[in-house]
């Protein structure tokens, strides 16, 4: 066993997020601390409206915190320009959105190919491989509207993986699926985590599923709490000195 601790891929330190609304300021995240390292599987559960999607969007550089720092591989994302953020997202971070966000006018194949074109590293052999991995190669010419929810979710996973991201952020990847499809999507995520060593951060309502994994947190009143199993291993607690 190696004692070497991987450098963090994503670190969040004292992250706050408020939304200004006509009826006042909504304080959604009060103080979130989190480290995600290479190859880890981390789960976040929490009630509807607790801020899970908000947090995922912040960690992936789709939105900016009101206060606090988020680093990607040691670089402060909160200080980056939109262009730099877009580059990091495109090359290093995969997203599986809560409601898939597939482009309806593109086929399965085109939906998965598109991020490779945006990143300027189109590789059709790998697009084929990744579609085979999610068992949808034979549906490549179909449009999203012609697929089941589980199949659309698998396309969304293929699209998230196609640029070989170091970390994949999944927002309720099984939330809209029946138990059989949910199990198959989770089996696929486990397989990719083991075979490709990609880190996954998975937001889910399903506490039972999350409870089967080591690192599970619950987002409650704007703070990440230990989930059903002990998760706050010493290396997951970070001090300002490590970040600032």
Ligand X SMILES: Nc1ncnc2c1ncn2[C@@H]1O[C@H](COP(=O)(O)OP(=O)(O)OP(=O)(O)O)[C@@H](O)[C@H]1O
Interface with Mg ion (CB under 5 A): 53, 98
Q: Identify the residue whose tokens are 């491989």.
A: 129
| Partner in contact with 51, chosen from ligand X, Mg ion, none, beta carbon below 5 to 8 Å by kind | ligand X
- Residues belonging to the chain: 244
Rg (CA), the chain: 18
Q: Annotate each residue in 85-124 with x if it binds ligand X (CB under 6 A) or - if it does not, as one string.
A: -------------x--------------------------
Q: Which of 31, 53, 78, 123 binds ligand X (CB under 6 A)?
A: 53
**Please, which residues bridge with residue 75 across strands?**
72
In angstroms, what is the minimal distance from the CB of 19 to ligand X?
3
In angstroms, what is the minimal distance from the CB of 142 to ligand X?
27
Neighbours of 160 (CB within 10 A): 24
In angstroms, what is the minimal distance from the CB of 215 to Mg ion?
19
Task: Supply 46's token pair.
Answer: 């929490």
| Partner in contact with 48, chosen from ligand X, Mg ion, none, beta carbon below 5 to 8 Å by kind | ligand X
Q: Which of 46, 60, 68, 144 binds ligand X (CB under 6 A)?
A: 46
Burial classification of residue 75, based on how many CB atoms lie within 10 Å of its CB (0-12 exposed, 13-18 middle, 19 or more buried): exposed
Q: Which of 51, 65, 115, 144 binds ligand X (CB under 6 A)?
A: 51
Task: Give the integer Cα–Cα distance in Å for 125 and 14.
Answer: 42
Q: What share of the chain is helix, strand, coil (3-state, %, to 5)?
A: 35, 25, 35
User: Which residues would be at the binding site for ligand X (CB under 6 A)?
Assistant: 19, 21, 26, 28, 46, 48-54, 98
């Amino acid at each position: 066993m190696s004692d070497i601790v991987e450098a963090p891929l994503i670190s969040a330190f004292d992250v706050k997020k408020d939304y200004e609304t006509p009826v006042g300021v909504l304080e959604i995240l009060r103080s979130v601390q989190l480290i995600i390292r290479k190859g880890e599987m981390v789960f976040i559960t929490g009630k509807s409206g607790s801020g899970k999607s908000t947090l995922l969007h912040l960690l992936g550089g789709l939105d900016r915190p009101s206060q606090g720092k988020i680093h990607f591989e040691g670089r402060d994302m909160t200080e980056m320009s939109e262009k730099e953020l877009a580059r990091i997202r495109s090359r290093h971070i995969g997203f599986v959105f809560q409601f898939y966000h597939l482009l309806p006018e593109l086929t399965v194949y085109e939906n998965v190919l598109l991020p490779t074109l945006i990143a300027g590293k189109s590789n059709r052999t790998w697009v084929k491989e990744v579609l085979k991995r999610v068992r949808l190669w034979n549906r490549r010419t179909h449009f999203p509207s012609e697929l089941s929810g589980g199949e659309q979710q698998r396309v969304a996973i293929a699209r998230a993986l196609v640029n070989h991201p170091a970390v994949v952020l999944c927002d309720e990847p099984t939330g809209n699926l029946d138990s059989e499809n949910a199990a198959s999507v989770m089996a696929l995520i486990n397989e990719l985590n083991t075979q490709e060593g990609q880190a996954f951060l998975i937001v889910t309502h399903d506490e039972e599923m999350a409870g089967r994994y080591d690192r599970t947190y619950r987002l409650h009143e704007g703070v990440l709490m230990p989930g059903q199993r002990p998760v706050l291993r010493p290396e997951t607690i970070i001090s300002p000195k490590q970040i600032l």
